[in-house]
């Protein structure tokens, strides 16, 4: 069973492999990271770890028993008890319920370990798999949005009850 791990410096090589192997797959449903992401990967990885150390974000990877990364799940823009959720699951691991289980576990960590009370998420309309994961894990649609020119939906999850909350705006990017 894959394990959800907080991002560490030694994850960098496997994470880069994960991003390279799945770039085209991800670009079909989420905005592409661009070539600079891959050229400056080591510097970017260090910057993410610094953001995490400062408590501004919490980055996670879903690691299989062999050490390969099957997914990444991020909590970004942490402030005032809220954060944005973003996630990606490798093409070879899609459709097995891993995203749902990992998002459920991350919601528990967000509330228990990170002291968060609300999570925001967004997905494009042409990504029904992500919409299903969010719905199954207690997120509620709160509005429409646009992600790099593509129509999408905004979601909220109250970590205390798993239901919609009206205390946070459904804005913010991940």
CATH number of 3-158: 3.40.630.30
**Encoding tokens for residue 172?**
């913010």
7: nearest Cα among 61, 57, 44, 63: 61
Entry pTM: 0.87
pLDDT for position 147: 87
Distances (CA, A) of 23 to 31, 37, 65, 103: 10, 11, 23, 21
pLDDT tens column, 10-52 = 999 999 999 999 999 998 877 788 888 899 999 999 999 999 9
Both structure tokens of 89 = 């699951």
Any idea of the CA torsion for 136, 100, 73, 141, to the nearest 10 degrees? -10
* Structure confidence by residue, pLDDT tens digits, 67-107: 999 999 999 999 999 999 999 999 999 999 999 999 999 99
| Count of Cβ atoms closer than 10 Å to residue 167 Cβ | 11
Domain locations in the chain as residue ranges: 3-158
Contacts of 91 (CB under 8 A, 6+ apart): 21, 22, 25
Residue 136, pLDDT score: 97
């Amino acid at each position: 069973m894959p394990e959800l791990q907080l991002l560490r410096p030694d994850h960098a090589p496997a994470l880069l492999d994960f991003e390279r192997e799945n770039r085209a797959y991800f670009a079909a449903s989420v905005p592409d990271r661009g070539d600079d992401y891959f050229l400056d990967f080591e510097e970017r990885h260090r910057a993410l770890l610094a953001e995490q150390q400062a408590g501004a974000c919490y980055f996670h990877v879903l690691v299989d028993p062999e050490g390969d990364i099957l997914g990444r799940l991020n909590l970004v823009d942490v402030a005032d008890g809220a954060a944005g959720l973003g996630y990606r699951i490798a093409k070879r691991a899609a459709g097995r319920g891993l995203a749902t289980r990992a998002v459920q576990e991350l919601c528990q960590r967000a509330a228990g370990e990170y002291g968060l009370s609300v999570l925001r998420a967004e997905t494009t309309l042409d990504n029904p798999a992500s919409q299903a994961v969010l719905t199954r894990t207690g997120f509620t649609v709160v509005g429409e949005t646009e992600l790099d020119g593509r129509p999408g939906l905004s979601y909220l999850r109250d970590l205390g009850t798993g239901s919609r909350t009206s205390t946070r705006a459904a804005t913010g990017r991940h």
